[in-house]
Every structure is written in structure tokens, then in C-alpha cells.
Amino acid sequence: MSQPASSLLTVLDLVPFGQSNGLDTQFFALRLERPSWTAWKPGQFMMVRPTSFGLDLPWGRPFGICHMTAQHLICFFQVVGRGTQRMAALKSGDKVQVWGPLGNGFAMEDKPTLLLAGGMGIVPFIGYVHEHHQPWNLTMLFGHRQPLNCYPVDSINERITVDSLRESAVGDLDNLIFSLRERMADVGEQNGLVLACGPLPFLKTVQQFALELKVRTQLSLENKMACGVGACLGCVCQSTENYPVAAKRNWPVQVCTHGPVFWADQISLD
């Protein structure tokens, strides 16, 4: 795997998603020139800092590596605050400092693998389905609140079928939770693998089912980050007695350097 490197990359373009809703879009695919990384793993992330952050925003922001091809690196983001607002104003030719690839990434096995994405948790699975050499072993359940065209599902649909459930009415969440459990139980019976990325309540539900059904499950956390390199301790989560490094059992571990992907029985989300 590539050692993390800092690269000053040129913006190729910024493509808005979900504009057909008649509202200002909050969702963008940012296409950057390809960095010099020799390798990366789906589930890894990068710290992104456009030069337009100036002195106002000293820290970069963490984003999943959506996909990297021979020509470009893609970051898919939702506008939620000051940094992502500035990113939504980027234009072709602007410069962005990118530090990566960071973190560990998801397991890839020749076994039935269920991908569980909640909202922006879809991002690392775009690279995952493109890099996996047995796409026929992959299935995906995608829970989301915004209309489907806000998310880059088409690039996943090229390789596998995505079952999506929109949470827009009372009862939709119960349906999603019911489907999650059913699909996880099914994959567990085949000794398969479950990978999940999404907001904390979503991950807590997946973790609860993983432990109850004893299904091998990895969770990708999106804790707030500042340095991205293990120094500030701003991103820690609590490990359990099952954590593989003895000295770190029942101890806070940095999500940026020890994660962002963890086995469900090795961390506590409470």
C-alpha cells in the first residue's frame, strides 16, 4: 500500500447531483487530477484542503476515497458546514491539497458480501464495487433520506444491483431495519461478510445485529477529525476486550490511524 503523501492537485471539474429537485444542490462529485499514489484500498480516506480555505480554515476535512482511476481521483461530498460550502465553490483549475491514502480500508473476500450504506456512507462502496474482482458476490442495501438522484448510485448499478430504501414516511425506518436484519442473517448463514458505512445510529443498529446474529461485520466510522495522522486524539473511539492489539484493549483508539474501518465486536459505539 502507498505511504500517505501530500499532493497539490488541480480541480478537473465539480459536478452537482440532485438538481432536478428544483432546490440548491448539496451534493457534489469533485474530480481531481490523479495523485502519485501507487496503490489505495476502498474504505481508505483522504484529508482535503482547498487552497481557498486560506487562513480561516486551517484544518483539512476528511473524505472517503470515492474512486481513483488512471486519470483522476474522485471525492463525493455533501455540504454541511463552512469547509464543504467552500468546496462547493471550487472551479476547474483551482488547487486542492490532498493528504492520503489514509487509514486501513475494508476487507475484500471471495465470499458473499453485503454492503450496507446509509446516506453519504455510499461513498467508499463506489470504489469497492469497481475494485472487487468478484462483483457477483456483492449485494447492497442503501438507506437514504434525500431523493436517489442526489447520490452516485448509477456508477454502482453498472456493476451490481442496489436495493434502495428511502426514508420519507413513518414506517420507512422500520422497513429498513427489518431488511437490514434479514439480509445480515442471510449473509451470516453463508459465512459471508457485512460491510457498513453511514451515520452513527445506522452503524449502531448494524453492530447490534452483527453481535446478535454473530455475522462477521466491519463498520466504517466517520468521527470528526482534525489532524488525520493520529496526533490530536480528536477522533478516538473506545475499543473492547476483543481489540487485536493487547495494549489498546478497552482503550481509546484513533479512528484516523487505526480505522476508519473496525470489526463490529472490537469497538464500542456508546
Stretch that binds ligand FAD, among 57-65, 131-139, 143-151, 172-180 (CB under 6 A): 57-65
Q: What is the smallest separation between the CB atom of 8 and ligand FES, expressed in angstroms? A: 21
* Distance of alpha carbon 99 from alpha carbon 125, whole angstroms: 20
Task: Check: CB of residue 229 under 8 Å from CB of residue 256.
Answer: yes
Q: Does 217 bind ligand FES (CB under 6 A)?
A: no
Q: Which amino acid is at 32?
A: L
Q: Is 254 in the site for ligand FES (CB under 6 A)?
A: yes
Which does residue 149 touch among ligand FAD, ligand FES, none (CB within 5 to 8 A, set by kind)? none
Half-sphere exposure of 5 (CA within 13 A, CB side): 13
Candidate list 235, 253, 261, 264; residue touching ligand FES; CB under 6 A: 235
Contacts of 208 (CB under 8 A, 6+ apart): none
Residue 64 contacts ligand FAD per CB under 6 A:
yes
- Give backbone dihedrals phi and psi of 9, rounded to 5 degrees, phi first: -110, 150
Q: Which 219-238 positions form the footprint of ligand FAD (CB under 6 A)?
A: 222-225
269 CB neighbour count, 10 Å cutoff: 16
Which one of ligand FAD, ligand FES, none interacts with residue 231, CB within 5 to 8 A by kind? Answer: ligand FES
Please enumerate in sequence order all residues whose Cβ is within 8 A of that of 59, keeping only pairs 6 or more positions apart, or say none.
49, 226, 227
Site membership for ligand FAD, residue 80 (CB under 6 A)? yes
Q: Is 188 a residue that touches ligand FAD (CB under 6 A)?
A: no
Asked whether the beta carbons of 237 and 262 are under 8 A apart, the reply is yes
Q: Under the rule (CB under 6 A), what is the footprint of ligand FES?
A: 225-228, 230-235, 254, 256
Q: Which residues bind ligand FAD (CB under 6 A)?
A: 45, 61-64, 76-78, 80-84, 120, 123, 222-225, 260
